[in-house]
Every structure is written in structure tokens, then in C-alpha cells.
Structure 1
Amino acid sequence: MFTLAHLSDIHLSPMPRAKRRDLLNKRAIGYVNWHRGRKFVHRREVLDLLTRDLHERKPDHIAVTGDLVNLGLPEEFLRAAEWLNHLGSPGEVTAIPGNHDAYVRIHPEAGTLHWRPYMEANADGKALVPTPETQFPFVRRFGDVAVVALSSAIPTMPFIAAGKIGTAQRAALANALETLGREGLFRVVLVHHPPLPGQGWHRGLRDAGKVKHIFKRHGVELVLHGHDHVHMVQELETSSGPGFVIGVPSASEAVAGRAPAARYNEYAIARNGNGWRVEMVGRAVAASPEHVWECERRVLRER
């Protein structure tokens, strides 16, 4: 059995002090929004409780599906790299960027390049599916489980939080799913934006319909995403059987009187005859953080 934990939308706090020149762009609006409300929502003590719980449960691997930072300030990326290092080693943790990690255009050396060890294929994955020049998708293999990591993070105009996979990544995704399917592996896709149609142009995945078609045609067992800060489970019929598309709430957002609580999910994946057994366990923290509790246990697949 392989256990995979999934958390998303970290929005690491506290946010570093911004210099005036850093706010001469889209960040100015985000800076005001942070200090007027978001800093009271995304709480470090909540995130720390979930992180401690992860360490105690010791899953085989941890997936982080983006929005580690808030405004894309250079110091935020350094602090996020420190947080990832605390969460686990690059061999224990896979990360991908979200729209807040591409809040404005920034040179990679000042941004997500600090996380590169967490955003690279491992040797077993690269042997099956070479990483394209775009760096995404990359593949990590852990025995019978293969993780395919996409990036939907693109810089956008103010008040826009949309994402896009793009032609090159979609072609590489189709090839990866086909190759991994022939190997008989359990395929987990990581993406920040919900990869199914239905969200508005201003915050949805703009090529979600094309991505959904790839899933249906080439097969996928599990797709994990964040972005909407809500728990959502959707079943998708594919050429290889049922796949599940699951979003998780923010790992740092907990507000009194508002659901859902901050949460991460843990998936126990095991072969079951010619198929798979997959059980999902939700672990949550309330607005008055004292402990982490099991908020949901659900068998997704029995075969």
C-alpha cells in the first residue's frame, strides 16, 4: 500500500514587508486585500497544526498543489522554500505552482526556482517519461504509483485568477498517461486549477475541456487540485475506468462560523486483484485550532 497526502493553497503567512517599488503593479491590489482581510483568514498556527499531523502520520509521499505564496514577492519564495524543507525532503514532497505563485512576471531565479528540487522528475519517472523542455509535466514514480505534475500557473491581469495548461503540456500529458497506463501504474495527476469545465473565465482553467478530453481518452485514476478552497469530489468515466477529480480546502484557512475547515487528504492506494483499492481520509483543523481530527473516511474504489 502507498499513502499519498495532498494539501494545497498554503498562502504562507506572515507576509514579508513589501517595498514601495514592489507594489507598482498587480501586487498593490493584493497587498490591500491581504491587510484588509486575508491575513486574518490564512493563519500560520492552523497550517503548523496540519503540518505536525502530517509528520506524525508519516505518509509515503506529500503533494502540494500550489499557492504557496500570496503576492509573489521575492522573499515569499524564499520563505516557501524553507517551509517545503520543513515539510519534507524533495524525495518526500512534490510541489507545483498555483496562480498566486505566478502573481506577476518575475525572473525564475527570484521565484519558483528556489523550489526546483521539489518540481523535478525522479529517476524512475524520468526513465519512463522524459521531462519536456517546458519542465512540466514531470513524472515521479513510486513503485506502482506514478505522479504526473502539471503547471496551470500563468500571470494574469488584476482581478483575474485563471489558469492554463497550454498546447505543449497537454500533448506531453497525453503521452505520459498513455505510457504509464501501458505499464499498469496507478496515475495521479497534480494541477492547481480544477481541471473540469464549469468555472468562469476569470478564475477557471481556460483549457479545461481539452484537459478533460485527455483524461477520458487516455485514462487517469486520480486527479488532485486546489484553487477553490473547498472540498469537492467528482467522478469521471475514462477509457481505463472511473477516475476521481478531488479538490481540497486551503491548508491554512479556518474562520469561525464558516465551512469548510482547513484540511488535507490522505489516500491509501493498493492493488486489488486486477484493479485498485483507494481510500480517502480527510484531516481537518477548526477556527479555534487545538487539534487535528478525522473529518471524513471514504472508499473511492474497491477494484
Structure 2
Amino acid sequence: MRPRHDGRQKAGKEVSLSTITIAHISDPHLPSEMAPPRLTERLNKRMFSYLSWTRRRRFIHRPEVLARVMEDIVTSQVDMIALTGDLTNMGLPGECRQARRWLEQMPAPCTVIPGNHDTLVHDDWQATVGLWQPWMGPLPFPFVRRIGNVALIGVSTAVPTPWFRATGRIGVHQSRRLRTILHGAGQQGLCRIVMIHHPPVPGLAVTRKALTDTRNFSECIAREGAEMILHGHIHLSTLSSLPGPAGGVPVIGIASASARSDDPLRTAGWNRITVSPRGNGYEIGVTRRFFPADGTAGTTRETIFDPSPPSRCFSGISTP
């Protein structure tokens, strides 16, 4: 039995370790044999998502694959799990309750932000995504959770959209708050890791699935900076960057944690991120663990992100 971790247990608590290890996972789309939506839930995007699940996606997002990823994280003894959205497939209250039970069994404290599948339609916050608030920081978004000298900053891009679209939006109010948070955390000398569901780099997602106001986000990063940005959504392991005041800020994406695939960049995996104080900043190491459909496991070479400007411009993570 895995230990139960209420997300409130270590929120804001200092950790004595000089190096913090974070497991970045995303888009588990918790596999389950879902019941069809009730009649009152059918005349919206949830029915389309249900049909997509029954016809195709349930063969891709597999419980045994997700279990493998989580067991691998257990053996790594991480200090925090950063989960960048899409815990569910339709955002139904029953799915959100199932996701809460899954979060309670996490092998380490976990920080969560919602994804577009978690907010397909307007619904009661307390009966759906609000059930995960113990694994978030103080709301409204963006929230901040401290673990040692790391500030995890949770941004929400999850907004209901029309049929056949999966776009995200930050909005003006979140952008203003994000700028303030980044500035304050920077003044405190914290390692600022931003969690966002939709990739904030133009071109990573097709138009109908992209972040619609990337400029709002990129302007915050360009002005205030961050040490790293984590995202999911596109079910692909990627490495890119955004301009920051001291050089390129690494933007790290990870494939779905439950995806069965032969493509090493699309198969299930997780990013092992280590944050170590170095001089006036932080040295951040990233290694990706991945699990192809043939039952093997792979590990990329570690990439080290140097905190000292202007050498923050970085080399890419090697692919297998």
C-alpha cells in the first residue's frame, strides 16, 4: 500500500535537503471503464470526449503503463511530484473523485494544476476540480507552493472551449498576478519553476489546441524571469525555451504518463528534475525516464542548466 499524501502536509514547509528532486508528470488521463455520461451531460463536449475514449483513447492510455511510471517514481524517492494537468478525460464529478483518491495514494507530496480535459464544460468547482485543492497552493491562480528553496508556481490555462477546440488561456488578471509572484520569488532568491498545462512556446501545439495568449505569458517571463517552465498537453516530450532577462529560460514538456507508444518521445515517461544551489543561483539537472510499449525502459543523458548568465542558454536533452 502506498502512503497517503494529503497535498497540504508539506505545503510551504522548509526541507533540510540542499538538493530538491522533483518528478514532473502530466496528462495521466486516468484510465477507467467510464460509464456513459448521463442525459444532462450529453449535449456538450463531454459526449464527444466519451466517444473518443471508447473508440480510440482507451487503447492508448493504459492503467498498467501508468502504474509502471508511478512505481519508477517510488524507487527514485523524490521530494515533490509536479503534475501539469489532464487527470481526467471528461472532467465529470465521478472522474474527479477518482482522481482525488489517486492523489491520496501518491508516493510523495504532489502539486497539481488542471488541464483542458478537466474543465471541458462549466461545472461546479467544488464537485470537480475543486476536489484537488489540497494539492494546489492558496488560490486564486497562479498559486505558489514552497518546498525548500523551490517555488512551484501553478498557472491555470484550463478554460471551457467550443467543440473541436482544446485551446487554453491565461487571461490578464493571472498575467498580472504571475508577474508579481515571479518578481517576489526572485527577490527572495527562490528557484522559480512555473507549471502550466498548455505549452507557452508558439508552434508546439496546433492552433486549435494552442495557448491563445502566449504573449501575456512570455512578457512575464521576459521581464521577471524564471528558472524553468514545465508543461504537458501535447503528449510529447520536448525541450524549448523562452527569452528571459538573463538568457533562455528552459521550457520542458513531457509525454502522457499513461501513453502506450513505440515512439520514445510519445511513450509514457517522467522528468527527474534536481535543483541544487550554486553560487548566486541554481543548477538544475533534467533526466527523462521513458517506457516503450515493448516493456523496456530508457533514460536520457542528464542535461544541466547553468544558472550563471549568459550561459543559461542550454544544449538540448539527448533523445534515445
Please indicate, yes or no, whether the TM-score normalized by the shorter chain is above 0.5: yes
| Structure 2: runs of 5+ lacking an equivalent | 1-18, 309-320
Using the size of structure 1 for normalisation, the TM-score is: 0.90
- Structure 1 residue aligned with 2:286, among 271, 280, 293? 280
Conserved? CA contact 2:37–2:46, under 8 Å: no
Conserved? CA contact 1:2–1:268, under 8 Å: yes
Q: Distance between the aligned counterparts of 1:223 and 1:259, measured in 2?
A: 18
Conserved? CA contact 1:218–1:239, under 8 Å: yes
Q: Which residue of 2 aligns with 1:95?
A: 112
Q: Distance between the aligned counterparts of 1:263 and 1:182, measured in 2?
A: 34
Q: Distance between the aligned counterparts of 2:207 and 2:267, measured in 1?
A: 27
Instruction: Give, in angstroms, the shift of residue 240 of structure 1.
Output: 3.7
Q: Distance between the aligned counterparts of 2:158 and 2:226, measured in 1?
A: 22
The aligned runs of 1:238-257 (5 Å cut-off) are 238-256=244-262
Instruction: Give, in angstroms, the shift of residue 76 of structure 1.
Output: 0.5
Amino acid at match of 2:235: H
Post-superposition, which runs of at least 4 consecutive aligned residues in structure 1 deviate over 4 A? none
RMSD of aligned C-alpha atoms?
Answer: 1.7
**Structure 2 CA distance for partners of 1:302 and 1:43, relative to 1, 3 Å:** same
* TM-superposition CA deviations, 1:32-52 (whole Å, max 9, x none): 111111000000100011111
Conserved? CA contact 1:196–1:209, under 8 Å: no
Conserved? CA contact 1:49–1:292, under 8 Å: no
Instruction: Give, in angstroms, the shift of residue 292 of structure 1.
Output: 4.1
Amino acid at match of 2:56: G
Instruction: Give, in angstroms, the shift of residue 103 of structure 1.
Output: 1.0
Aligned to 2:235, the other structure's residue is in SS state: coil
Q: Distance between the aligned counterparts of 2:264 and 2:298, measured in 1?
A: 17
Q: Distance between the aligned counterparts of 1:111 and 1:46, measured in 2?
A: 25
Q: Which residue of 2 aligns with 1:124?
A: none
Matched, 1:297 2:314: no
* TM-superposition CA deviations, 1:110-158 (whole Å, max 9, x none): 201111100124xxxxxxxxx5xxx101101122211110100000111
**Residues 179-188 or 291-300, more deviating:** 291-300
Conserved? CA contact 2:84–2:112, under 8 Å: yes
- Structure 1 residue aligned with 2:272, among 266, 276, 279? 266
Q: Which residue of 2 aligns with 1:143?
A: 148
Conserved? CA contact 1:267–1:280, under 8 Å: yes
- Percent of aligned positions that are identical: 37
Q: Distance between the aligned counterparts of 1:29 and 1:151, measured in 2?
A: 23
- Structure 1 residue aligned with 2:83, among 64, 68, 75? 64
Instruction: Give, in angstroms, the shift of residue 293 of structure 1.
Output: 3.5
Conserved? CA contact 2:237–2:265, under 8 Å: no
Q: Which residue of 1 aligns with 2:132?
A: 115
Q: Distance between the aligned counterparts of 1:66 and 1:186, measured in 2?
A: 22
- Structure 2 residue aligned with 1:164, among 158, 166, 169? 169
- Structure 2 residue aligned with 1:35, among 54, 67, 76? 54
Amino acid at match of 2:231: H
Q: Distance between the aligned counterparts of 2:29 and 2:253, measured in 1?
A: 16
Aligned to 2:91, the other structure's residue is in SS state: coil
Q: Which residue of 2 aligns with 1:3?
A: 21
Aligned to 2:269, the other structure's residue is in SS state: strand
**Structure 2 CA distance for partners of 1:292 and 1:78, relative to 1, 3 Å:** farther
Conserved? CA contact 2:201–2:241, under 8 Å: no
Aligned to 1:53, the other structure's residue is in SS state: helix
Matched, 1:231 2:237: yes
**Structure 2 CA distance for partners of 1:102 and 1:143, relative to 1, 3 Å:** same
Amino acid at match of 2:281: G
Q: Distance between the aligned counterparts of 1:139 and 1:195, measured in 2?
A: 19
Using the size of structure 2 for normalisation, the TM-score is: 0.86
Q: Which residue of 1 aligns with 2:34?
A: 16
- Structure 1 residue aligned with 2:198, among 169, 193, 199? 193
Amino acid at match of 2:167: A
**Structure 2 CA distance for partners of 1:108 and 1:302, relative to 1, 3 Å:** closer
